[in-house]
Structure 1
């Protein structure tokens, strides 16, 4: 396999995440229908698609918050092990999943901060209690992360004292402090008021400029066009088309993608 290119330059041939034939069913509902995707170190991949196309489910399968019904998944060079219990597919090695998940950070739509902990405590919780790292070192790193997202002066606040955009920036700082090799973002601006979206996208853009590996489910077309190294368009649980934003957004590569982008342009 030849190395591919991204906005940050040449990438290694081995993907950091590789999904092959990934499926997900909820009873009779078939959400993912065989998704193939490789993500290489340093890539910023925007995952687009209409509501119900399987975007968030796919992202949750990559972090094993959902167990894929079928297909294979390799994360950071390890094949994720599954087993069957009757008709149900389960995780075979919980320790493997915990180890891999600690290196694949995830930022959710609705922040998921602990309301009874301060901003600083929220950011420190994972490294101290999950990774077992030194509290003093983690505090220094957490303060640096909060400074990076512009919220060091809110370290002693509680989530209820912050705006939605500020809470999402805290969630990003919390993910960074875990030192992940991959960052997953599940529609990180969808729960925000329009005037707060820009502050979160600016933080994400800065992370992308550092060469971080990021997979982002988003409806922010300008961000996907300007920041991504690759765009993946899901439709009905499959990858309909993917390519560079330059190729896709100029139009004419896929009629359904063009209509999708046009719909969001009219909304804007």
Structure 2
């Protein structure tokens, strides 16, 4: 999957992407990094076709029906239980499926009968991620999937996303978190000033910035002019 020479200007005349080029690895979890406001979520909108994309600039991406896109703040029914919420999403794809509470991860089995509206913000995020992960798609887009999660739940989410990738699914996500980017099964893309300023593995990112800490590598790249 590649984006080639993509330029986009916002309605307020601010240029968001300036001849942007990006390559996404099929067999790795691709993580879009960058400061707030640089267009990470908007890029997911284009990839998902929520915003119509120029086919000449977007190569190798699946069609809309083969993409699952988890946006921030998905509005689910507050009176539905956790189990019924996830089953509702699965019924869109496979009506009368045999999904049971025992199929939920341990952390959600404990709240399977709790109403979605009674959950904490982090728990709701976990329900959303789990539900979208169960859809059978070629490409999964996650917009800050670790947002609002404590370290344990964030780890569960990233393990689930890595599992999807190991099953042959393509993954692109945005993130500001670094605690779970702990191996080279991730492909990092740092977006700033309309271009990809770094693309490669976490170890290559650390080596380029001369540090052993991903947060420091991020800060150094953000400060580069």
Runs of 4+ in 1 over 3 A off after TM superposition: 68-71, 224-228, 257-260
1:20 aligns with 2:8: no
- Tell me: higher relative CO, structure 1 or 2? Use CA pairs within 8 A at least 6 residues apart: 2
Q: Give the structure 1 partner of residue 69 of structure 2.
A: 106
Structure 1 unaligned runs (5+)?
A: 1-16, 79-99
How big is the shift at 1:231? 0.8
Secondary structure of 2:22's partner? strand
What is the aligned partner in structure 1 of residue 16 from structure 2?
A: 31
Maintained 8 Å contact 1:46/1:228 = no
CA RMSD of the aligned region, Å?
A: 3.0
Asked if the contact 1:221/1:261 (under 8 Å) is kept, the reply is: no
- Cα distance in 1 between the residues matched to 2:111 and 2:49: 32
CA contact (8 A) 1:225 1:246 kept: no
Please give the TM-score of this superposition, normalised by the length of structure 1: 0.68
State whether structure 2 residue 218 is matched by structure 1 residue 261. Answer: yes
- In structure 2, C-alpha distance between the alignment counterparts of 1:121 and 1:101, rounded to whole Å: 26
- TM-score when normalising by structure 2: 0.79
In 2, the alpha carbon distance for the partners of 1:203 and 1:62 equals: 22
- State the partner residue of 1:50: 35
For 1:207, which of 142, 150, 161 is the aligned residue?
161
SS in 1 for 2:124: helix
- Residues 118-155 of structure 1 show CA distances to partners (whole Å, capped at 9, x for unaligned) of 322322233323x3x23133x34x752xx226212322
- In structure 2, runs of 5+ residues without a counterpart are none
Cα deviation, residue 209, structure 1: 4.6
Shift of 1:221: 2.3
More strand by share: 1
